[in-house]
Structure 1
Amino acid sequence: MIRRLFYMALGAYLATWAQRRLRALKPDHLARRAADQVRGFADDVRDQASHRETELRARFGLDTVSSTQTHLPPNVRDGR
């Protein structure tokens, strides 16, 4: 009797676990999770690019537009 009750409870647990795992594999859930990961990656890339740009601007003294114009010869345009 106890053995049957144990196996019945084990079966119910495994069935619930399997349903949850299968529900997590639905296409809409996978798409949402992938979109969140891509969005997080893009945010990380933007943060790192901004940080690196700040480092380079500080290193080369490019904090103001007037400082970039003084380093260029008079006949060279700066791309604006």
Structure 2
Amino acid sequence: MIRRLFYLAVGAALAVWVMRKLQALHPEHVARRAAGRAGGLLAEVRAFAGDALEAAAKRESELRAEYGLDTVESTD
């Protein structure tokens, strides 16, 4: 009798766990998670691109100042 109740409880717990996993795979939930992750990834890429462009502009201005490229000289 106790063994039957134990297996009944294990089966019920397993059924609840499986149902929750199956509900998490519902297309609406998967799409929502994918959209959230894509939005986060897009924000990270934009931040990286902004940092890279800022560093490139800073380095370019340093090189222009070092080599005197800020002025346009005539070659006539």
The two structures have a TM-score, normalised by structure 2, of 0.78
Question: Post-superposition shift, 1:71?
Answer: 5.6
Match runs of 1:8-27 below 5 Å: 8-27=8-27
Identity of matched residues, %? 44
Aligned position for 1:7:
7
Structure 1 residue runs of 4 or more that deviate by more than 4 Å after TM superposition:
70-73
Question: Post-superposition shift, 1:54?
Answer: 1.0
Match runs of 1:1-80 below 5 Å: 1-61=1-61, 70=70
Stretches of structure 2 lacking an aligned partner (at least 5 in a row): 63-69
Aligned CA-pair RMSD:
1.8
Stretches of structure 1 lacking an aligned partner (at least 5 in a row): 63-69, 74-80
